[in-house]
Amino acid sequence: MAQSNSLENPFEVPSIESISALSLEMPPSCVQFSPKDPAYFLVGSYQLKPIEGDQIESAAQKRNGSLVLFRFRDLHPCFCADVSTQYAVLDLKFSPCNGNNFVVATSTGAIELYSLDLVNGTTFRKLQAFQICKPSILVLSVAWGPSNDTKSSIAMSLSDGKVGVLSYEPCRHNVALVQAHSLEAWIAQWSKPAETDSIANLYSGGDDSAICAHRAQMGSEQLDFGNREPEGEEYRPLGQNKRIHTAGVTAIQPVPIQQGPMQVLITGSYDEYVRVVAVGLSGNSWTTLAEERLHGGVWKLQVLAESRAHEDGTVAFDVLASCMHAGTRVLRIGRSSKQEWSIKVLAKFVEHDSMNYATVARKSLPNEGAHGSMIVVSTSFYDRKLCVWNIHYPLPTD
Bridge pairing between strands 300-303 and 315-322: antiparallel
pTM summary value:
0.92
- Alpha-carbon gap, residue 98 to 315, rounded angstroms: 31
Q: How far is CA 60 from the centre of its chain?
A: 23
Give me the pLDDT at residue 225, please.
75
Give me the pLDDT at residue 367, please.
85
Residue scoring higher pLDDT (193 or 313):
313
Give me the pLDDT at residue 196, please.
45
- Tell me the average pLDDT across 41-66: 74
- Alpha-carbon gap, residue 26 to 383, rounded angstroms: 9
Using 50, 70 and 90 to split pLDDT, how confident is the model at 194?
A: very low
- Alpha-carbon gap, residue 55 to 80, rounded angstroms: 36
Neighbour-count burial of 396, counting CB atoms closer than 10 A to its CB (0-12 exposed, 13-18 middle, 19+ buried): exposed
- Tell me the average pLDDT across 324-330: 97
Query: Residue 166 half-sphere exposure, CB side, CA atoms within 13 Å?
Result: 27
- Alpha-carbon gap, residue 269 to 297, rounded angstroms: 6
The overall average pLDDT reported for the chain is 89
Q: Worst-scoring range by mean pLDDT, 13-22, 162-171, 354-363?
A: 162-171
- Tell me the average pLDDT across 186-211: 82
8 A C-beta contact, residue 188 and residue 155: yes
Among residues 240, 231, 178, the alpha carbon closest in space to that of 213 is found at 240
Go through 166-196 and write b for each residue having 16 or more CB atoms within 10 A of its CB, e for each that does not.
Answer: bbbeeeeebbbbbebbeebbbbbbbbbeebe
Alpha-carbon torsion angle 177, 209, 232, 108, nearest 10:
-30
The pLDDT of residue 42 is above 50 = yes
Using 50, 70 and 90 to split pLDDT, how confident is the model at 65?
A: very high
Tens digits of residue pLDDT in 279-301: 998 888 999 999 999 999 999 99
- Alpha-carbon gap, residue 331 to 304, rounded angstroms: 10
- Region of 110 (left: φ > 0; alpha: ψ -120 to 50; beta: rest) is beta
**Most distant CA pair in the chain: distance in Å?**
68
3-state SS track over the chain:
CCECCCCCCCCCCCECCCCEEEECCCCEEEEEECCCCCCEEEEEECEECCCCCCCCCCHHHCEEEEEEEEEEECCEEEEEEEEEECCCEEEEEECCCCCCEEEEEECCCEEEEEEEECCCCCEEEEEEEEECCCCCCCEEEEEECCCCCCCEEEEEEECCCEEEEEEEECCEEEEEEEECCCCCEEEEEECCCCCCCCCCCEEEEECCCCEEEECCEECCCCEECCCECCCCCCECCCEEECCCCCCCEEEEEEEEEEECCEEEEEEEECCCEEEEEEECCCCCCEEEEEEEECCCCCCEEEECCCCCCCCCCCEEEEEEEECECCCEEEEEEEECCCCCEEEEEEEEECCCCCCECCEEEEECCHHHCCCCCEEEEEEECCCCEEEEEEECCCCCCC
The pLDDT of residue 81 is above 90 = yes
8 A C-beta contact, residue 141 and residue 151: no
Q: How far is CA 266 from the centre of its chain?
A: 12
8 A C-beta contact, residue 298 and residue 272: yes
- Alpha-carbon gap, residue 257 to 37, rounded angstroms: 30
